[in-house]
Structure 1
C-alpha cells in the first residue's frame, strides 16, 4: 500500500488546488454580479449634465446629456460585431461650450461610407466611459491610415486636441445613418468567471479520474516492475 500513497496524495492535493480555484472564481462571480448591478444602475439612471471635471472612479458609466457641435474628422477604431462582421467605431470631437470632448458615435461596417460627422446644435445622450480596450499586445495606431486598434482615450484626445473625456452615444438628435450606436450595457461588460469556474472544476474532475486510472494500473502491476 505504501507505493500508492504518493500518487494518491499527489492526486488529492492537485484536485484540491483546482477545486479551490473554481471556488475562488465562484466568489469572483458573486462580486462581479454586484459590480454589474451597480453599473447597470448608473447606465440606466436619468442623464445629468456633463461634470466639470469627470472622474474615472466616480463617473465611469454615468449617464449624461450634452448639447453642442459634432466636429469632423473622425478617428476609426477597428472593431467587430457578431453576425455583422468587421468594421469601425467612429470617434469625433464634440464641442460643448468651451470644452472639446470625445464622442463615440457608434459602428459602421468596412463597406459603409459614413459622413464626416459635422452636426451643429446636436444633443447626445450617452454614458461616460474610460475603456480598457488597450493592453500590452495592442498595436500602435496607424495615423496615416486613420486606423486605431483600441479606444485609447488619452492618445485620441491628444490627436484631436480634446480633453480625455469620452461619451458613448445612446441616442442622438441627428440622423447618422449608416452609423449604429453601440450604447453601454451590462452585456458589453465581460463577466467570464462562471466559465472559468467550470473550467477549473472540470480539470479537477479529470485530475481525479486520471489519478484513479494511474493507481488502478499500479495495482495490476507487480511491485518492483517498471511503469
Structure 2
C-alpha cells in the first residue's frame, strides 16, 4: 500500500492527500534530465484544512443546542396551559358539590348504584338510634365555617380536638339499619355517659348527606377495630362490627341537640392549588424564554 502523507505543489499552493495506488491522473515532476515525467503509484486530491471541519462540526452542535433548549420554554408553557384547564375543571366540580349540598333532601334509597350517584346529596330518614354500638372517628376538629372564615388570615389557629360519633340508626320506613355520623364531640365528651342528655331514644327524623367509603391516605393509621378507634371511613368494616348496612350519612347541623354531638360535619375539601402551579409554570416559561432570546438571538453571553 501507498504511504499516507501530505504533499504540496510549489506553484499552485494546493494541499493534496494521498488516496492510494489506483490513480486517475499522475502529477508531473521534473527529472534530472530536465524532462517532465509522471509519478506513478500515488493519486492526489485537494482536501479541506482541519480548521474548517472543526468549525462546521461546532456550527452543527450550536444549532442542535439552540433548538433543543427551546423545548424548555415550550414545555413549561404547555404545562401552564394544562393547569389552567385543570383549575377550570376543579372550580366547576366545587360548584357542583356546593349545589348538591344546598339541594332539597330526598328519601334515602337502598340501591347501591343509585347511592353512588347520591354522594353529597341530602337525604332524609326516620327511625331511632342504637347508642350501644357507637363508633368513633378520630382525631377530628370541629367543622365551623364561621370560625374558619374568621381565622382564614391567621398564621395559627387552635381548633378543639375531638371525634365524630358514628351511631347505627334503624330506619323504620326502610326496615334496615344504616350508619349516621351524628357529629363532633370534644375529647372530654367522648364517652357516652358524659353526654347522656344528648342520647336520644325517641323516633326522630334525620336529614344528612350521603357519604361513600374512603381509602386510607398516606400517613393515616390503620383503623383499630378492637379499641373502637377509627381513622377513616371503612363502610364494610363498620357495617360488619355494628350489624348495619354499608350506608353512611352525615347528619346536618339541624340534627344537633343540647348535650349531644354537633352535626353538620361534612367537609367538602377539594385541593385547589392549580393557581400556584399556573404561576410557577408560566414564570419558568417567561424566564427561560428570555434567557434563550438573549443567548441565541441577541448573542449576549449568559
- The interval holding the TM-score normalised by the smaller chain is 0.7 to 0.9
Question: Which of 138, 159, 170 lines up with 1:78 in the alignment?
Answer: 138
| Structure 2 match to 1:225 | none
Question: Which of 202, 206, 220 lines up with 1:124 in the alignment?
Answer: 206
- Does the residue aligned with 1:23 lie in a helix, a strand or coil? helix
| Matched-pair contact (CA < 8 Å) for 1:168–1:182 | yes
- Does the residue aligned with 1:164 lie in a helix, a strand or coil? coil
- In the alignment, the residues of structure 2 paired with residue 9 and residue 79 of structure 1 have an alpha-carbon distance, to the nearest angstrom, of 54
| Matched-pair contact (CA < 8 Å) for 2:162–2:190 | no
User: 1:137 deviation in Å?
Assistant: 5.2
> Is it true that 1:108 corresponds to 2:185 in the alignment?
yes
Task: Give the TM-score, by structure 1 length.
Answer: 0.76
| Structure 2 match to 1:155 | 237
User: 1:67 deviation in Å?
Assistant: 1.6
Task: Give the TM-score, by structure 2 length.
Answer: 0.60
| Matched-pair contact (CA < 8 Å) for 1:75–1:147 | yes
Which structure shows the higher strand fraction?
1
| Matched-pair contact (CA < 8 Å) for 1:119–1:174 | no
Greater Cα shift, 123-132 or 206-215 = 206-215
- In the alignment, the residues of structure 2 paired with residue 126 and residue 14 of structure 1 have an alpha-carbon distance, to the nearest angstrom, of 50
User: 1:103 deviation in Å?
Assistant: 0.8
User: 1:170 deviation in Å?
Assistant: 0.8
- In the alignment, the residues of structure 1 paired with residue 126 and residue 273 of structure 2 have an alpha-carbon distance, to the nearest angstrom, of 37
| Matched-pair contact (CA < 8 Å) for 1:126–1:183 | no
Q: Deviations over 1:77-119 (max 9, x none)?
A: 2244473054322211111122111111222333443537742
- Does the residue aligned with 2:185 lie in a helix, a strand or coil? strand
> Is it true that 1:143 corresponds to 2:202 in the alignment?
no
Greater Cα shift, 94-103 or 130-139 = 130-139
Aligned CA RMSD, in angstroms, stands at 3.4
Aligned length: 219
Instruction: Give matches, 1:1-227, under 5 Å.
Output: 2=59, 5-54=63-112, 55-72=114-131, 73-81=133-141, 83=157, 84-97=159-172, 98-113=175-190, 115=192, 118-120=199-201, 121-132=203-214, 134-135=216-217, 138-173=220-255, 175=257, 177=259, 179-184=261-266, 187-205=268-286, 207=288
Greater Cα shift, 36-45 or 110-119 = 110-119
- Does the residue aligned with 1:20 lie in a helix, a strand or coil? helix
- Does the residue aligned with 2:272 lie in a helix, a strand or coil? coil
- In the alignment, the residues of structure 2 paired with residue 204 and residue 179 of structure 1 have an alpha-carbon distance, to the nearest angstrom, of 51
Q: Deviations over 1:49-98 (max 9, x none)?
A: 11132434321111111121122232222244473054322211111122
Q: Which structure has the larger Rg over C-alpha atoms?
A: 2
User: 1:46 deviation in Å?
Assistant: 1.0
Unaligned runs of 5+ in 1: 222-227
| Matched-pair contact (CA < 8 Å) for 1:43–1:184 | no
Unaligned runs of 5+ in 2: 1-57, 142-147, 149-156
How has the CA–CA distance of structure 1 residues 143 and 15 changed in structure 2, closer, same or farther, with 3 Å as cutoff? same
Greater Cα shift, 43-52 or 5-14 = 5-14
| Structure 1 match to 2:49 | none
- In the alignment, the residues of structure 1 paired with residue 292 and residue 165 of structure 2 have an alpha-carbon distance, to the nearest angstrom, of 54
User: 1:206 deviation in Å?
Assistant: 5.5
